[in-house]
């Protein structure tokens, strides 16, 4: 996806969600032709010229200062994640590291040893595109027991958690609140795409999902953005039933953009008992 196009789309969606009266503007009565704020109204609130803001929204201004971007963010009432996303999109030459990897990524041996040691905790190693680079047996059993456990070792057909979420019927049934899960996953993907402009694998993933999932395409057009590193997920597992698990996504410190995704259950809860039961099926 072209970053300039994404910037304009993002700004338009955020203008559309604000009404003049929400930001203290007095408007003349009558029918408005655009939802939300007009460009000139947003420019007024941000303290920039209409011409400059228009160029920014059209992706023609690549040297916007921190002050201008902060003013636009305040005018649009962006939250922290949205504000960071605006900066990424407005300055694609400063966002992230070079996108393309010279060869298929692999989980480091030390990371694999860590996974193996956590035999009572579902754990998965992901790259920036949410491809599964490795999982321990319990992580595989929790998230994708219907898939070959050796699939992450084959770059050509590695599982991708976002692809599974939108295109795999088994994964759709796994999440009790599938729509909430889809909303969060797509919003996190939006942030990642903004941080890594020009990443061909990310672009290919977005294109594939937009073609094959109407739900993805509709949600993508809204341009949600959200960082999601901790939280909770509710599962309806085909073997052990209901599970309410906490999760944490930890970025490795080796410069690879790999993340370690861990799931835990509160001690003494039915979910902890269900997770223990799932572990016994692996023996």
pLDDT beyond 70 at 106: yes
> pTM for the full model?
0.87
| Average pLDDT of span 41-56 | 91
248, pLDDT greater than 60: yes
Please choose, from the candidates 141, 145, 121, the residue with its C-alpha nearest in 3D space to the C-alpha of residue 263.
121
The whole-number pLDDT of residue 93 equals 61
pLDDT value, residue 24: 75
| pLDDT averaged over every residue in the chain | 90
Q: Percent of the chain having pLDDT more than 90?
A: 71
User: 258 and 125: one domain?
Assistant: yes
* Measured distance CA(143)–CA(145) in Å, rounded: 6
Which DSSP category does 157 fall into? Answer: G
Q: Report the CATH number at residue 174.
A: 3.30.450.180
Please give the structure tokens belonging to residue 82: 């949205």
Domain co-membership, 79 together with 118: no
Domain containing 25 equals 3-90
With 0-12 / 13-18 / 19 or more C-beta atoms within 10 angstroms meaning exposed / middle / buried, residue 270 is middle
Mean pLDDT of 14-25: 83
Whether 171 and 164 have beta carbons less than 8 Å apart is answered as: yes
Mean pLDDT of 216-235: 95
List, in sequence order, the alpha helices (H) in the chain. 3-16, 39-46, 50-57, 66-76, 80-90, 109-117, 137-144, 161-167, 169-174, 178-195, 200-212, 214-221, 270-280
- Is 70 exceeded by the pLDDT of residue 2? no
Higher pLDDT, 35 or 262: 262
Is 200 found in the same domain as 74?
Answer: no
Q: How many helices (H) and strands (E) does the chain have?
A: 13, 5
What is residue 198's predicted lDDT score, i.e. its pLDDT?
Answer: 85
Cα(3)–Cα(265) distance, integer angstroms:
40
Within-domain flag for 103: no
Is residue 24 in a domain? yes
The owner of tokens 């958690």 is 161
Mean pLDDT within 74-95: 86
Number of domains making up the chain: 2
Contact 149, 137 (CB under 8 A): yes
pLDDT category at 197 given cuts 50, 70, 90 is confident
**What pLDDT sits at residue 4?**
67
Query: Given pLDDT bands bounded at 50, 70 and 90, which one contains residue 20?
Result: confident
- Give the pLDDT mean for 107-130: 93
Least confidently predicted of 24-33, 82-91, 138-147, 263-272: 24-33
Query: Domain end: 90, 124, 146, which one?
Result: 90
Residue 104 has a pLDDT of 78
Regarding whether 25 and 83 lie in a shared domain, the answer is: yes
Residues 146-172, mean pLDDT to the nearest whole number: 96
Q: Looking at the structure, do residues 74 and 157 belong to the same domain, yes or no? A: no
Q: What pLDDT shows up at residue 96?
A: 47
Determine contact, residues 194/225, Cβ cutoff 8 Å. yes
Q: What pLDDT does 5 receive?
A: 85
pLDDT at position 28: 52
- Per-residue pLDDT, averaged over 16-20, amounts to 86
- Same domain, yes or no: 138 and 242: yes
The pLDDT of residue 74: 94
Mean pLDDT of 251-267: 91
């Amino acid at each position: 996806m072209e970053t300039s196009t994404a910037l304009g789309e993002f700004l338009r969606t955020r203008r559309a969600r604000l009404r003049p009266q929400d930001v203290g503007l007095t408007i003349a009565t009558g029918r408005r032709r655009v939802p939300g704020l007009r460009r000139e109204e947003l420019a007024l609130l941000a303290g920039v010229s209409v011409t400059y803001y228009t160029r920014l929204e059209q992706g023609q201004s690549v040297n916007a200062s921190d002050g201008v971007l902060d003013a636009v963010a305040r005018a649009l009432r962006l939250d922290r994640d949205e504000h960071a996303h605006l900066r990424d999109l407005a300055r694609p030459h400063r966002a992230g590291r070079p996108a393309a990897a010279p060869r298929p990524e692999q989980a480091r041996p030390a990371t694999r040893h860590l996974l193996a040691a956590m035999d009572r905790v579902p754990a998965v190693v992901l790259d920036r595109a949410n491809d599964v680079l490795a999982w321990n047996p319990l992580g595989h059993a929790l998230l994708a027991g219907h898939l070959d456990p050796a699939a992450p070792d084959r770059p050509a057909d590695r599982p991708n958690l976002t692809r599974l979420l939108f295109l795999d019927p088994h994964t759709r049934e796994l999440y009790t609140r599938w729509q909430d899960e889809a909303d969060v996953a797509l919003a996190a993907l939006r942030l990642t795409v903004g941080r890594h402009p020009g990443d061909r694998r990310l672009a290919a993933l977005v294109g594939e999902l937009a073609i094959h999932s109407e739900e993805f395409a509709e949600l993508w057009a809204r341009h949600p953005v959200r960082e999601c590193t901790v939280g909770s997920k509710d599962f309806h597992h085909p073997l052990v039933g209901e599970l309410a698990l906490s999760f944490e996504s930890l970025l490795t410190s080796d410069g690879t953009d790999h993340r370690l995704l861990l799931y835990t259950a509160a001690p003494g809860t039915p979910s902890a008992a269900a997770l223990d039961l799932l572990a016994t099926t692996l023996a």
